[in-house]
Structure 1
Amino acid sequence: MVRFFSWLVGAGFVGALLFALVSSISGLITEPPQPTVTEEFHKEPKPLSLASDGPFGKYDNQQLQRGFQVYKEVCAACHSIDLVHFRDLEGIGYNKAEVKAIADQWVIEQPTINPDTGEASTRKNLPSDPFPRPFANDVAARAANNNALPPDLSLIVKAREGGAAYIHSILTGYEKPDPEIAKKYPDFEVLEGLHYNPYFPSLAIAMAQQINSDGQVQYVDGTKPTIDQMSTDVTAFLVWTAEPKLEARHAAGMAAVIFLLIFCFLTWGAYKNVWRNVEH
């Protein structure tokens, strides 16, 4: 009797699950879900090709230096790169004297404590210092940016789906809202303080277009500073901040592959030598 009731309860449970499943499938067929405005008008990142792409990729130091110049003149006013030190710039082709000059002339000085008074103070940056933050804390950052907190850019390429292509698309993707949005979704609006960008997941981003005109940055090497060129260069620089040891990793990986190939060949040779006199 107990076994019968146990079977009955189990059958009822399975039946309820099947009924719920069939009802759900039937509902999806008769009334398929309608796409939301963000699903319909959001765009995937545009393809971007950088010298560092692929297993044999290497950084273009000239491009990285241009990207650093864009970061310095455009992005550094709001965005930090906490994980990068001034001395790390030697990795993109600057010599020690140039790094020292960059650190010494950096607009934001290093926060410190006055040893004589014990009060908060600042001092000139040293090559061993990390790049100082543009704001004292998150509260100050929000107060200066309409309550939006500018993210640190050290690992932004790794932290965003789409990586470098996404960052480049965001920088170059500002435009007026698609007229079709107003027709299909009359309730949609870009709130005050936000800016339409179809590459951003919500279509509206707090950051205004920062790289907004050709010639905004005058490159030292004479490269024509178009919006796309500046956006590509600063994206390449952010790829480097996220993975400064990329070239060493690629070299180590290639050495490992070559070692394994040689090892496999020697193993095969040893096998043939040991079993050469054994009849099959």
Structure 2
Amino acid sequence: MIRLFGILTGLFFAVAVLWSFGNGAFVAATEGLGEATAEKVFYEHPEELDLPSNGVFGTFDEAQLQRGYQVYKEVCSACHSLKFVAFRDLAQLGYDEGQIKAEAASFQVPGIDPATGEATTRPGLATDYFPSPYPNTVAAAAANNNAIPPDLSLITKARHDGSAYVHSLLTGYSEPPAELTQQFPNFTTPPGLNYNRYFPNLNIAMAPPLALDGQVTYGEGNPEPTVDQMATDVAAFLTWTAEPTLVKRRQTGFAVLGFVLFATILAYFAKQQVWAAVKPKKAAKAKD
């Protein structure tokens, strides 16, 4: 009885796995089929972005990360927070203690009045985290056409294509192409929204944050701050905020793989040594 129950249970799980595989294959094969819509026809997949941190041997470019932080501070921080990044983390970008304290003090963070106990704001400290520019989500929605700007700490992990998505979205604003309105006369960009070919439904509440070349002034020795360059730099910076230990993790991974390879070779030779005296005995018995 127990054996029969075990067989039936195994069959049930086997059928469930086969059904899931078949259903997934069907969905993958038919996804995107059906009636054409403006979103399906004119939405463009994010373009590949070549960053120094790409690939298994990639590393962060400190100068680029500093430029990306500058773009975030001067442009993106007006609407977006970095709630998982502390000011002291900027030391990883090459800033010294004095610079970090100055950067922290340039932001206002939530605090408490020691005299009255009431909520207030104060200049940031190195141990504080980057604050939200809005006191709450209601205020954020009211200031952005009822759309709450997302926190950018993990945005390159939270979006498919990560860094490439951020770069493409920032550079994908334009007027709706004539072909779109000709093919889909009912398509419109409502007031308060903006057309962006890299946004899934083509209309996004965020206004173009990088609208002009030179919007952010880079120091000497840096590339020209074109829209594309600024978008690339801030995408690199947000790649770092999402995983500041990226390079260290890869280095640790190579060390672990090397150890596993060494241990495997060592185990093989140990096995050969242990069974070396046994094999001749087995061979002799087989001859007898």
Q: TM-score, normalised by structure 2?
A: 0.83
- Spell out, residue by residue over 1:173-225, the C-alpha distance to the aligned partner (whole angstroms, 9 max, x if none): 11111211111111110111111111000001111111111111111243211
Instruction: Give the AA of the match of 2:102.
Output: A
Determine the C-alpha separation between the residues in 2 that align with 1:205 and 1:128: 34
Instruction: Give the AA of the match of 1:59.
Output: F
Match of 2:242 in 1: 242
Determine the C-alpha separation between the residues in 1 that align with 2:220 and 2:141: 36
- Spell out, residue by residue over 1:82-107, the C-alpha distance to the aligned partner (whole angstroms, 9 max, x if none): 11100011111111121111112x1x
Determine the C-alpha separation between the residues in 2 that align with 1:124 and 1:190: 40
Instruction: Give the AA of the match of 2:213.
Output: D
SS in 1 for 2:75: helix
Identical residues among aligned pairs (%): 51
Q: Equivalent residues in 2 for 1:211-222 (5 A)?
A: 211-222=210-221
Determine the C-alpha separation between the residues in 2 that align with 1:272 and 1:177: 70
Task: Compute the displacement of 1:142 (Å).
Answer: 1.5
SS in 1 for 2:130: coil
Determine the C-alpha separation between the residues in 1 that align with 2:90 and 2:34: 51
Q: Equivalent residues in 2 for 1:1-280 (5 A)?
A: 33-104=34-105, 106=106, 108-223=107-222, 224-277=224-277, 278-279=279-280
User: Aligned-pair RMSD on alpha carbons?
Assistant: 1.3
Determine the C-alpha separation between the residues in 1 that align with 2:226 and 2:162: 22
Instruction: Give the AA of the match of 2:110.
Output: P
Instruction: Give the AA of the match of 2:272.
Output: K
Determine the C-alpha separation between the residues in 2 that align with 1:58 and 1:138: 36
Task: Compute the displacement of 1:275 (Å).
Answer: 2.9
Determine the C-alpha separation between the residues in 2 that align with 1:221 and 1:63: 13
SS in 2 for 1:76: helix
Structure 1 ranges of 4+ moved more than 4 A? none
Determine the C-alpha separation between the residues in 2 that align with 1:132 and 1:167: 21
- Spell out, residue by residue over 1:13-41, the C-alpha distance to the aligned partner (whole angstroms, 9 max, x if none): xxxxxxxxxxxxxxxxxxx8222110111
- Spell out, residue by residue over 1:229-276, the C-alpha distance to the aligned partner (whole angstroms, 9 max, x if none): 100000000011111111121111111100011111111211222233
Determine the C-alpha separation between the residues in 2 that align with 1:126 and 1:33: 55
Determine the C-alpha separation between the residues in 2 that align with 1:255 and 1:122: 46
- Consecutive unaligned residues of structure 2, counting only runs of 5 or more, are 1-32, 284-288
Determine the C-alpha separation between the residues in 2 that align with 1:181 and 1:109: 44
Instruction: Give the AA of the match of 1:246.
Output: L
- Spell out, residue by residue over 1:114-159, the C-alpha distance to the aligned partner (whole angstroms, 9 max, x if none): 1112222222211000112111111111122222211110111111
Task: Compute the displacement of 1:111 (Å).
Answer: 1.4
- Consecutive unaligned residues of structure 1, counting only runs of 5 or more, are 1-31
Determine the C-alpha separation between the residues in 2 that align with 1:221 and 1:126: 29
- Spell out, residue by residue over 1:14-72, the C-alpha distance to the aligned partner (whole angstroms, 9 max, x if none): xxxxxxxxxxxxxxxxxx82221101110000010111112222111111000000000
Determine the C-alpha separation between the residues in 2 that align with 1:227 and 1:96: 31
How many residues are paired up? 247
SS in 2 for 1:198: coil
